[in-house]
Every structure is written in C-alpha cells, then in structure tokens.
C-alpha cells in the first residue's frame, strides 16, 4: 500500500507575539500568469478547476506530497473511487479512500488526471489542497504586498546569482518536499521544511530541547486533515537564520508530529516553516525544479550579514 504525506493542519488560538525579521529589500519576479489569492485561516488559497468545473478555492500546500479533495466536493462532482492508501498527517497515519480526478488545474499547473485522497471538508478548512504533485517543474512566486501569485514552468538550470536585494537559498529534496539545511538556531543546524499549508510553524521536540525548554509554554491544540488532534506547546524562537536572513521572536508550536518521524527527523532539530513565518517576507519564490528559495524582505529592513 502506498504511503503519502499531507502536512496541513488548522490551529486553535495561537498566542500573538512580536515578530521581527532582518534581511534585504525587494526584487522583481519573472513574468508569469498572475493570480489573486485569498486566505483561509491565514493559509493561502487559489482558484482551482476540476474537469472544467469550478473554480474552487484550494489551499496551496508545499508540505503535502499529494493534492487532496474534500469528500463533499468529490461527491458533488461524481468522481469515481480510486485505491485505498496510507496517509501520514500531523497527528498520525491512517488508511483513506481516494478518488480519480480527471483533471485539476490552476494557471499553468496541472490539467492531468490525478488520484487524490478524499477527506472531510471540515478538517481541510477548504474544498481541497494543492500538493507538490501539481507543483513539480514549476516556480511559485508569492507577493504578500499585493496578494498576488505567479506560477511559471521552470527547467533545471544553473543557479542565477542573487540580485542586490535578494536572498537565494538552495534546498534539498526529501520525499518530494523542499528542505532547507542552511538554517541555524543557537548555532546549531536546523532542517527547515517549507510548508505553506500550515498556519503556524511547528518545531519538533529536538528543536525544543535545543532551546533549553521542556514543554513549559502555552498549550497548542491542532486538528489534522485526518480529524485527529495534535497537542503541543507554544514557545518563542528568539532567533533563527535562514540563509543570510534572520527571523527573530517567532512564536512556534512544538509537538512530536508524525511527519518528523516519516522524514527521519525525529531526533534532529527541525521545523515546518508555515505561513506565519513566510508572511514576514514581502515576496517568496519557491522553485521546485531548481530546489531554490528566493526571499525579499520589507523595504525598511536592515540587510542580513552573509552566512
């Protein structure tokens, strides 16, 4: 039986905290089809068409291996049943039914037939989620100032130099997810999984131990896409470097989430970097073909020193 990973979760009452970021100013994004996006529980959604029907607002989830659809929408569209697969979500693993989606498209993405897990809409917080199965071979550029997004096909190439106002970070491919290894907390290397489907960044117990804390923060309660609850603790990550950028005073939830075990990161300091952290940047560009992350910070930010 195939194993798939879907990382999205919905947070309950995350405590507010001051967040400060230090890094460069903006750079222009390459041309592409321009899309507006909405937000659902601080996550980003885009209009998706399924076999010409729609559009439906799907959450963009760079942490999920596969796109998923709500059971309610699948029934409404009369989609045929697929196989039963094993799905790993934040709070655990379960066997789920899939449906055959004849075509799923947004902008230049998709259009091909896919097999998608069918989950409860209440647990997704949206009619569905766009995973990295539809994002491979593309670059996703998000402009948080204008609430616009561009999606362009990309090919493997040499990394072009950073512009005067850009931070460029190379990532590794781990089970299809992009993982940044050029990141540190308290002088120690931390693995960072880019996860636009998660509203609140989530660290593992190994990272919490690195901070010298033993579950003494505010309680954190989440509901995974499988409807299971994940209980952890909030703590403030006082400083984290991401390439040559520095993020300060980021409130992070900490829990022994199932994906850390699936990625082999249970005992290594790691964090799923969610929308709360990505929104600190003015623009974010994730290039899946070239395993590259480009970041642009607010105009009044101080440039980070090179790492």
Which phi and psi (to 5°) does residue 110 adopt?
70, -145
Q: pLDDT (tens digit, 9 = 90+) per residue, 245-268?
A: 888 888 888 988 888 888 788 888
Q: CA 298 to CA 19: how far, in whole Å?
A: 13
Q: pLDDT (tens digit, 9 = 90+) per residue, 72-92?
A: 999 999 999 889 988 888 777
Confidence (pLDDT) at 193: 87
Ordered domains of the chain (ranges, CATH):
33-135 (2.40.70.10), 140-150+157-296 (2.40.70.10)
Task: Enumerate residue ranges in the chain where pLDDT < 50.
Answer: 1-40, 299-307
3-state SS of 88-114 is: EECCEEEEEEEEEECCEEECCEECCCE
Instruction: Report the residue count for the chain.
Output: 307
Confidence (pLDDT) at 80: 92
Q: Which of 39, 43, 8, 13 is nearest to 119 (CA)?
A: 8
DSSP-derived secondary structure for 1-30: --EEE---EEEE-PPP---EEE-----PPP
Percent of the chain, pLDDT > 90? 8
Residue burial 18-32, b: 16+ Cβ < 10 Å; e: rest: ebebbbbbbbebeeb
**Burial (0-12, 13-18, 19+ Cβ within 10 Å), 248:** middle
Structure tokens at 199: 């509203």
């Amino acid at each position: 039986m195939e194993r798939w990973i879907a990382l999205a979760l919905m947070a309950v009452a995350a405590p507010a905290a001051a967040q400060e970021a230090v890094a460069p100013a903006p750079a222009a994004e390459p041309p592409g089809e321009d899309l507006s996006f909405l937000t659902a529980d601080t996550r980003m959604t885009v209009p998706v068409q399924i076999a010409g029907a729609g559009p439906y607002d799907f959450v963009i989830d760079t942490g999920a291996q596969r796109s998923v659809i709500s059971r309610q929408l699948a029934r409404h569209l009369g989609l045929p049943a697929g196989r039963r697969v094993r799905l790993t979500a934040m709070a655990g693993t379960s066997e789920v039914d899939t449906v055959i989606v004849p075509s799923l498209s947004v902008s230049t993405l998709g259009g091909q037939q896919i097999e998608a897990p069918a989950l409860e809409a209440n647990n997704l917080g949206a009619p569905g989620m766009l995973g990295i199965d539809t994002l491979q071979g593309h670059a996703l550029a998000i402009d948080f100032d204008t609430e616009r997004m561009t999606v362009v096909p990309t090919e493997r190439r040499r990394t072009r130099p950073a512009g005067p106002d850009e931070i460029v970070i190379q990532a590794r491919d781990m089970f299809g997810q992009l993982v940044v290894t050029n990141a540190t907390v308290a002088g120690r290397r931390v693995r960072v999984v880019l996860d636009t489907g998660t509203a609140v960044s989530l660290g593992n117990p190994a990272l919490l131990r690195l901070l010298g804390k033993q579950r003494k923060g505010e309680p954190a309660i989440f509901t995974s896409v499988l409807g299971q609850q994940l209980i952890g603790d909030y703590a403030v990550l006082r400083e984290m470097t991401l390439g040559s950028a520095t993020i300060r005073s980021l409130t992070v939830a900490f829990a022994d989430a199932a994906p850390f075990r699936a990625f082999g990161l249970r005992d290594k300091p790691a964090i799923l970097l969610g929308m709360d952290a990505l929104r600190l940047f003015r623009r974010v560009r994730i290039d899946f073909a070239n395993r590259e992350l480009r970041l642009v910070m607010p105009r009044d930010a101080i440039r980070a020193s090179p790492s």
